[in-house]
Structure formats: C-alpha cells, structure tokens
Chains A and B, each alone.
Chain A
Amino acid sequence: MKSRGPLLTLLLAGAFGLCVGPFYWLAMAATQDDKDVFSWPPKLLPGGHLMENLQGLQDSIGLTRVLFNTVLVAGLQTVGAVVVSVLAGYAFAKFDFRGRNLFFVLLLSTLVIPDTVMLIPIFQMMMDLGMIDSYESVILPGLVTPFGIFLMRQALRSMPDELLDAARVDGAGELRVLWRIVIPVNRPIIAALALFVFLGGWNQFVWPLIALRSPEMYTLPVATATLQGLSTTNYAQVLLASAIAAIPVMALFLVLQRQFISGLLAGATKE
C-alpha cells in the first residue's frame, strides 16, 4: 500500500509531461529559423529567431491588427454575454413569472442542437443586413449563451432571499439591488463565466472563418489557419502564431486558476 504514492505520482507526472510537453516544443519551435522547424532531431532549445519570426508575421498577416481584432471581438463578446447571462440568470433564479420554465427549457434545449445548424441562416441574415465582414457579425451571435445563463441561474439561486429583501426594505430599487448586492456577492462566479466566454471568443474559429472576408478583419485563429493553408507556408511563423494564441489564455488561467476551476465545478456539480 505504501508504495502506491510514488508510483501514482510518477504516472501523473507522465500525464503532465504528455500534456505540457507539446507546449514546450511549440515555444522552442517558434524561435527557430523556418528551415530548422523540420530538422531531425527536433530542436528543443531556443533558436534565436523570435524577432525575425514576429516581423515575418507582421508582414504576412498584420499581427498587431489581427491581435487587436481578436481582443476586441473576444472582449466585447465577454462583456455582452456576461451582462445578458447575469440579467437572465437573476430573473430565472429569483423571480416567478409567466413562461419562466418554458423559456428556460427552450433555451437549454438549444444546447443539443449543433451550432452548424444555425450557420447558414445566420450567414444569410448577416448578408441581408450587410454586416458580413464586420466585427458585429462575429460578436452578436455569441452574446446569448445558454450555458452562461444556466451557470448564473444555478449560482444566484443559492443566494438567500433575505439578503435581497433586506435591501428592498431599505428602499433600494431593483437595479440597485442587482448592482449593489447580486453582482458583488457573486463576483467570483461572474469572473469565472467571463473567463469561459473570453476563452471561447478568443479561440472561436468556424463562424469567424465564414463571417470575415478581408485579411485586416481576421481574428488570430482565422489568420493562422489561412497562413497554414498557403503552399509557401513559413512554419516557424505559423507555430509562433499558435504560440501567441495559446500564451495569453494560459497566463490568464494561471492568474485566475481558482475562479476558473470553481466555475467549471459549479456548472458541473450543482444539480
């Protein structure tokens, strides 16, 4: 029995290596000269071509503009989706109103419908509105997340009614109750939701690939995939683009790990 600890630790360290190893290689490969990316054996030490590859990315996809687009799209989507989710989640958790259950079930049932079903009508709608190739076309469809509304409802339900009523007795209006009580009390889970939405927005691919046409509107995943599709692909640059896509979310995760995991667990375990 006593020997199980070291053995399990070793196995988990192995799993850790399998999961993290590729990132280490990626970070190293992104600093190589293009011709060294496919050299044998693979280069596992820094290569000193980072600046050159960054410059190359700037020239080929307009890295700064693409990063700006990605941050803007993911950021606005996060703000919008969090507002929509908190408001609706609060209504579902703490108010009784006609049609509440029906709408909630309808909303959740869209979770089982593949997003691909909605691609074509949304594309046509955006075409008709002349919004294709705009930031709005990418941001708007992401604002209603059944998952986010569900998560907020679950979290806000556990808030005691007495807390809200106490504020109302003190003469606070509904908006004030929301702003001064509901949001501050639930800040950790709201932060977790914001992280999830941001991550989704940062990484989203299929819809931006369809909705965006001109390279200066591309988000990082779209630009990366487009770059990779070229016959003259500079792989050091493509890998650097992937590393740039991966690094900010990992940094965000490292800083906000606790919120992240607790949000994941709240969504998974509550009822």
Chain B
Amino acid sequence: MTMRPDPTFHASPKLAMEAPAENFAYTLLLSPDFSKPDALAVIDAKPGSPTYSQIVHTVTMPNKGDEFHHFGWNACSSALSPLTGHAFIERRYLIIPGLRSSRIYIIDTKPDPTKAKIHKIIEPEEVFKKTGYSRPHTIHCGPDGVYVSTLGGGGKDGTNGPPGVFIMDCETFEVLGRWEIDRGPQTLHYDFWWNLPRDYMVTSEWALPPQFENGIVPEDLLANKYGHRLHFWDLRARRNVQTIDLGANHQMALEVRPAHDPVREYGFVGVVVDTTNLEASIWTWWREGGKFHAEKTATIPPEPAPKEKLPPLLQGFGAVPPLVTDIDLSMDDRFLYVSCWGTGEMRQYDVSDPRKPKLAGSVHIGGIARRTPHPNGKAFAAGPQMVEISRDGRRVYWTNSLYSTWDDQFYPDGVPGLEVMANVGRNGGLELDKNYFVSFPDGYRAHQIRLEGGDCSTDSFCYPSA
C-alpha cells in the first residue's frame, strides 16, 4: 500500500510516451532440453552505461522443465482506472508462468532490478485445483487483479475441459479462480487483451497442449486443426458476445494488439500461416454499430528456397513461410511491428489508417534460408520472434526463440539465445543498432522481453491521449 500511485503508471498512452526511457530489459531464458532451471535475465539497456547490452543480473529458478514463455507485471497503468478509485499499488513484481509446468513465479524487482529475487512460487496444484486450467500463458494486470490466460484445461494432457482465463490477486498473488461465466463456442486459447473503458476483451487461439508440447503436428496443421478464431467478450459480464472465424486455412491467430488509446475501438491480430499458400497475414478487427468485424489487411508471401536450405518439415514445399509469430503496436498506435520468424525479417507497418497498413520499414536478420548476419558481423540464428517496443517508440527489441520443440523443427542447426535492438526513425524506418547485441549463456534460449517501467504490450490505459 503506497501513499501515491506508482510513478510508472500513466493516465494516457501519450503520458507513457513522455516518461523517462527504460534502463533495463528483463528477458526470459528457457532451457530447451529441460536440463537446467529456467531463468530471468536483467539486461542493462541504458545507452552510455559501461555494462550496456550486458546481462547485469540473473534470477535462476529452483525447478527444471518450467518452459518460460510470456510474463507480465502485477500492476500497470490500469491501476489508474477511475473505477477502482484506488491506485496505491506498485509496479514491482514480475509474474512468470511456466508454460509446461503450470508453476508461477513471482519475482520482486525492488529495491533495484539488479537485485531481483524470487518473492513467491505458486505450485501447479494450486492452479489446477482452483481453476481447472493448466499451461498459464499471457499476463495482464487489470483494475481488479491479474488476469492470466491458459492454453490447457484439466487432466494430464490439458484436454479435460477447455482452457480459459483465471484471476490472481495483485498483492497476495492468491489464485482467485476462473474468469469466464459464459465462454460460448470458445474451446482453444492463446492471447487476450481488452479495452477497459469500452468494456470488452478479445481472445485468440493457438492449440491444445498435445498439438504444441511435443512440436508442431504437421497432419493437424494441414487439416486446419489449429486455432483460427477471435472471441470478443463483455469484460465485466464475463461473457463471450461474438466469435469471428477468420477461415480454417488461417492457422494460428496469435497475438492480439488493441489500439492503446481507449477511444480507438480497433486492433490487430497476426496469423502464422495460411495453409493454402504459406502466406502469413495481419488482420484488423474493429467495432462498429455494436458488432465486431475483422478483415485481412496485409499479407506476407512465402519465399522460394532450394531443398537443401530447408529443414525436413518444409522440404516438400520448396519455400520458406514467413511465419508471423509475434506482432506489437507502438504506443501512439502508429506503427505495427511484425516478426517474420521463418523468413528472418522484422517489418514495420504504418497503421495510421488501421485498415490499410503500409510497409514503412524492414530489416532482415537470420531466417531459415536467408541467414542474414547482424550488422556487427555476428551470425543470428533463427529469426525475429518476441518483439517489444519502448514506450517512446524509438527502440524495438526482439529475441529469436519461438518454443523449445518448434525451434528444433524449423531450425534444426540450433537456436542459441540472442537479443537485438533496432532504432526507429522519427517518421518510421528501422535500423539495427550495432551496439546492442545480447548473447545468452550456452544452453539457454530467449523468449519474451519486458522493459522497465512498462512497454507496448503490458499497460492498459483508461484515458484517451487527446
């Protein structure tokens, strides 16, 4: 309980952009063969610092086999929601779910990120018992607690009942229980986000645990059995109000990125692969006349490649699919960054007109066939994957691992953990920074990045920027 709201809480996206830049980048490290405990790395992101772009602290977990993936804060700008009337909590704890183990770690980042330590561990049994869900994934701090999406239901393989969202207390970290009252036709889950003042939530679909834990199942993919729908919910009534099917061939609708400014009732979702032509696509969804709509607004074509440059999984296709595995929207809702993990490209789209994205910038790095090195001359394995944008929109960070078993299928030569950063021009354009190149310790891969003081995929705002 504090006397003032945390200084990193901002009433509007515009105020968040004007706040001091991040000094640290928190990055999740996973041991892909489960031989070592997973870890949280704290990287110095302060330009000019003697330890710039170096790991300055590591929190190693006490267990193995957690498979770290996504994570989030216990509290963010949503605490300024005028509906809570109570903003006296701190952005202090990182909540890290083990996607494979269903164990959840709470990491205390005070008094200083370089002294971060484990505050609490929530054992998988508590999650199973209180929610009937498993495989916790996305974390968002809301005004009445921390919301956690899950990819699995009950039972050993997570297929006993549908996955969903549960809520945790943001101070005691007690698991409170399921969020949904009426899930409608939703049976798969992946990401979720919301518009707090407009009172709706959007959720997406990846797959059930048997379809991802041991690697991608090619037969299921070609049979279009991965997720391809968006669900829209009445946030406070906790009901599914509308489901939009993007079409069965649009396999894996993953990250949902609503506009940060709550006045804007639109957002984006990335689709990994179209099974008819290997294209990846960006979709825009919006609300009009009380109904939600979605349309494909950008496509990225596959790139032909000789068989010898392809992993066995793709040799029959003679091409590299772009595989859009992550997207992220800048705080001013102007630029959408799109990771093409297969072709090895980070794209920047100007989405000022949300239904007409325009390619504004691009950098190539890594890739299944291209294998473009970093401008500093070093090799970059795999491709751009988890992407995070600084609040001021000037720096874009990304790592290169998708998921332990999937990495091995698409990049059988190995995926050493790497993190890079690109600078953004005033009016768009993207250029890799020669001085920011983080090479993680052997045996570790890197997944999601969180920036100190909030970034472009954590905070939710309750006031417009105008």
- Do A and B belong to a common assembly? no
The chain B residues found within 8 Å of chain A, CB to CB, are: none
The chain A residues found within 8 Å of chain B, CB to CB, are: none
